[in-house]
């Protein structure tokens, strides 16, 4: 069992580290959390670890202080059986605390202390693609059915729009451009020809932070250029008779564009090149 001096130094050192890290966090420049989205979870892990270490270090300190006080009062001889059990008392506390920690930490993780773990597990379970949806301007519903492995459903083509939500991959017809893990599509048909006039697809499987969505967009723009799309501006690309508009949509309650906890998705809109924005 650690001595009184060792326990005091250990407790004091851990407590000083907790206070020092908290002070350092207050000195961080504005926007640090927004630019480093992993930082909040890392901070929670570090502070939880330090708190558990402090609690375990406090047990021998408490036992040493109590028994030291009894010895100073002259009760050591009278309490000799308990004095011989000091180590056992400490290990009993440590065992109970350890078992409690083994229950509490997984429960904290499961119920969201370190992020939406349940949601992430559900998304992972549902992440298996239901097929590939292939669509392009001018295609008929029959063309899309033949080219796609994703089931458009029996009602597709009966109305001016076709829409659905699910997990699917989307490929722009007659191009190598594929977006994996899409969640929603909305296809408009021309009233007269019944051919595809416009396509809207949510091309990310889940909501993202602003830094995450910007990295996704940057990678998507670079990929579109390598796949033969010509950029008209930061958002609009042309390839053959098709225009592709790549943009974002905010999904949380809108307060400020720069809110660090804002949630975003990326979308594409396909249209005729002559109607390019």
In a domain, 235, yes or no: yes
Give yes or no for a contact between 15 and 54, defined as CB atoms under 8 angstroms apart: yes
Question: Are 110 and 201 in a shared domain?
Answer: no
Query: Could you read off the pLDDT of 168-200 as tens digits, one per residue?
Result: 999 999 999 999 889 899 999 998 888 999 999
Question: Are 135 and 261 in a shared domain?
Answer: yes
Among residues 82, 115, 148, which one ends one of the domains?
A: 115
Q: Within a 10 A sphere around the Cβ of 199, how many other Cβ atoms? A: 25
For 127-150, letters b (16+ CB in 10 Å) and e give eebeebbbbbbebebebbeebbeb
In a domain, 154, yes or no: yes
Question: Are 108 and 216 in a shared domain?
Answer: no
Question: Are 35 and 95 in a shared domain?
Answer: yes
Query: Which of 89-93, 130-134, 162-166 is the least confident region?
Result: 162-166
Question: Are 135 and 54 in a shared domain?
Answer: no
Instruction: State which residues form the domain around 62.
Output: 4-115
Query: Could you read off the pLDDT of 28-86 as tens digits, one per residue?
Result: 776 665 566 667 778 888 998 999 999 999 999 999 898 888 888 888 778 888 888 88
Quick check: helix, strand or coil at residue 197? strand
Among residues 66, 91, 115, which one ends one of the domains?
A: 115
In a domain, 56, yes or no: yes
pTM > 0.85:
no
Question: Are 150 and 260 in a shared domain?
Answer: yes
In a domain, 121, yes or no: no
The total of structural domains in the chain comes to 2
Question: Are 66 and 141 in a shared domain?
Answer: no
- What is d(CA 149, CA 218) in angstroms, rounded to the nearest whole number? 29
Tell me the mean pLDDT in the region 15-26. 87
Give yes or no for a contact between 136 and 174, defined as CB atoms under 8 angstroms apart: yes
In a domain, 31, yes or no: yes
- Among 139, 127, 240, residue whose Cα is nearest residue 199: 139
- What is d(CA 53, CA 134) in angstroms, rounded to the nearest whole number? 55
In a domain, 158, yes or no: yes
In a domain, 136, yes or no: yes
In a domain, 203, yes or no: yes
């Amino acid at each position: 069992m650690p001595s009184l001096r060792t326990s005091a130094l250990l407790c004091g050192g851990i407590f000083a580290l907790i206070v020092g890290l908290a002070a350092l966090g207050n000195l961080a420049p504005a926007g640090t959390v927004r630019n480093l989205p992993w930082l909040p979870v890392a901070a929670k892990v570090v502070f939880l670890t330090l708190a558990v270490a402090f609690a375990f270090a406090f047990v021998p300190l408490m036992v040493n202080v109590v028994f030291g006080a009894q010895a100073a009062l002259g009760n050591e001889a009278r309490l000799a059986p308990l004095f011989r059990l000091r180590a056992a008392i400490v290990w009993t506390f440590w065992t109970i605390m350890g078992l409690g920690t083994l229950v509490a930490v997984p429960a904290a993780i499961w119920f969201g202390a370190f992020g939406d773990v349940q949601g992430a597990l559900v998304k992972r379970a549902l992440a298996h693609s239901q097929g590939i949806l292939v669509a392009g301007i001018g295609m008929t519903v029959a063309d899309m059915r033949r080219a796609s492995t994703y089931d458009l459903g029996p009602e597709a083509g009966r109305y001016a729009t076709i829409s659905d939500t699910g997990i699917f991959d989307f490929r722009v017809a007659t191009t190598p451009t594929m977006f994996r893990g899409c969640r929603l599509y909305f296809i408009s048909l021309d009233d007269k020809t019944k051919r595809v006039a416009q396509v809207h697809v949510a091309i990310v499987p889940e909501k993202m932070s602003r830094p995450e969505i910007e990295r996704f967009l940057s990678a998507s723009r670079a990929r579109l250029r390598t796949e033969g799309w010509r950029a008209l501006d930061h958002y609009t690309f042309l390839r053959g008779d098709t225009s592709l508009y790549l943009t974002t949509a905010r999904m949380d309650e809108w307060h400020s564009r720069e809110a660090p906890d804002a949630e975003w998705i990326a979308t594409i809109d396909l249209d005729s090149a002559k109607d390019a924005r």
